[in-house]
Amino acid sequence: MDAETAELLRHTSPNRKRKLKEALRTIAGNPRLGKSLQENLVGYFSYRVGTLRIIYTINVLRKIVHVVAVVLGTQFMTRWNVNLQSSVSLQPSVI
């Protein structure tokens, strides 16, 4: 995960962290629940958790959800300069 996302999560309340973990479990169980993004973001999905959004892709063949970023809703469009190589892949069994 990139440094900005790590910093956001470090200062997140325990309640919000719990909700994020629940959301990751939900996404792992049914990744198509998220909103399919359009235009230059085709292939990405967004799952909203309060004011946060989890941005991810799905590898159907390997059954992996690849979390690209966790962003505040107000920063959603500005965060796409994030280096995608620094993101994290999570297998559903890990979550």
Of residues 39, 38, 29, 34, the one with CA closest to residue 52: 34
Lookup result for tokens 């107000």 = 74
Terminal CA-CA length for the chain? 15
Mean pLDDT of the chain: 75
Residue, of 76 and 47, whose pLDDT is higher = 47
Strands 52-59 and 35-36, bridge-based pairing = unpaired
pLDDT band at 1 (very low <50, low <70, confident <90, very high): low
Token pair, residue 15, equals 């309640």
Structural domains in the chain plus CATH codes = 3-90 (3.30.2310.20)
pTM, entire model? 0.71
Lookup result for tokens 């992996």 = 64
